[in-house]
Amino acid sequence: MEEKNQPPFATSDGASEGYRDKKSFRGIIILEGLSVLVWLAGIFFFYLPLPRSSVALARISGEQNMYDVFSLMVSVVLALALFYWLRRKRALAQVVSFLLGIMVYNILAIFIEPLVALTIAILCVYIERAYRSFVTNNFLLVIGIFAAAISFTNYYKVGFLLILLLLFSLYDVVGVFFIKAITKVAKSASKTGLPLILLAPKKNVSWWKVPTPETTASIVGAGDLFIPLVFLTSVSIQSGWVVALCSLVGAILGNVGNLFLARKIKTGIPAIPFLAVGLAAGYGIGLLFF
């Protein structure tokens, strides 16, 4: 769904440096480690003794079905609006941050009262926009993606998600190697400050600096975090956390395969195929033995 390991910097002649730069490899290892932590959080999230707000209680009683439908419609309209704003790069960054804030609010409102959830969501977006850095970019993206994944978890069966993994794998390959749209989005996000990619700075650059193509060592696409997270969280709920952990091991092995592929190709690669194979294989092994 999104780009993977596409180096946001280039040599003077415009050729991508890829993983010939050890600093780039170091950065991607950090981002992959962050991804694994987020996936673990998704696996065990619903096993926590979580509170429920009045909004959650109303949803459980069936009183908020129209609210859910309306939220979905609004999300679709806003997502389509992003395509219109692609030409207005300055405005697009604010729109994306705002959408991530909506995701954060929607999930927080299930566990805390709406006014408190709204305050936290606004604060997260404000900090990312006003004090933009590698840290604030990654923080808003992670909590936004996590919130979105948690929202999707109860709607889809694992079998359906396996089909989606296949479709997203095909999309990733076409988008990176053929039409190159994903690579272009990655470069644009790096240049314009869109919080759509996880970023790691170069070795001597502070994590609190504003990310730019010149200061960024490695990037990981939002889809590479989101798609495995939805799958792992759904598996954890429907088949148990042990099976989910088996799938997580498969995803980690898939990422190892991505690292080797990236070092060979020296440029952006489609990450979802290896991740999908690892997730599916781990899921199958988990069901077979546990």
In a domain, 160, yes or no: yes
- Per-residue pLDDT band for 263 (boundaries 50, 70, 90) equals confident
- Residue range 34-81, pLDDT digits in tens: 999 999 999 999 888 877 655 444 444 444 444 444 554 555 556 555
Domain that includes residue 278, residue range:
18-289
User: Measured in whole angstroms, how far is the alpha carbon of residue 2 from the centre of its chain?
Assistant: 9
The mean pLDDT value of the chain amounts to 79
- Per-residue pLDDT band for 229 (boundaries 50, 70, 90) equals very high
In a domain, 157, yes or no: yes
The pTM for the full model equals: 0.81
Q: What is the mean pLDDT of residues 216-220?
A: 87
Residue of 175 and 87 predicted with greater confidence: 175
**Domain count along the chain:** 1
End-to-end CA separation in angstroms for the chain: 30
**Quick one: pLDDT at residue 205?**
92
- Residue range 69-85, pLDDT digits in tens: 455 455 555 655 555 55
- The yes-or-no verdict on residue 123 having pLDDT over 90 is yes
In a domain, 6, yes or no: no
As beta bridge partners, residue 218 has: 200
- The residue type found at 112 is I
Write a three-state SS string for 78-129. HHHHHHHHCCCHHHHHHHHHHHHHHHHHHHHHHHCCHHHHHHHHHHHHHHHH
Nearest to 211 by CA among 225, 230, 194: 194
In a domain, 10, yes or no: no
Q: What is the mean pLDDT of residues 265-273?
A: 76
In a domain, 91, yes or no: yes
User: Measured in whole angstroms, how far is the alpha carbon of residue 81 from the centre of its chain?
Assistant: 20
Nearest to 222 by CA among 96, 95, 121, 133: 96
In a domain, 122, yes or no: yes
How many Cα atoms are found within 13 Å in the side-chain-facing hemisphere of 248? 24
**Quick one: pLDDT at residue 78?**
60
In a domain, 1, yes or no: no
In a domain, 3, yes or no: no
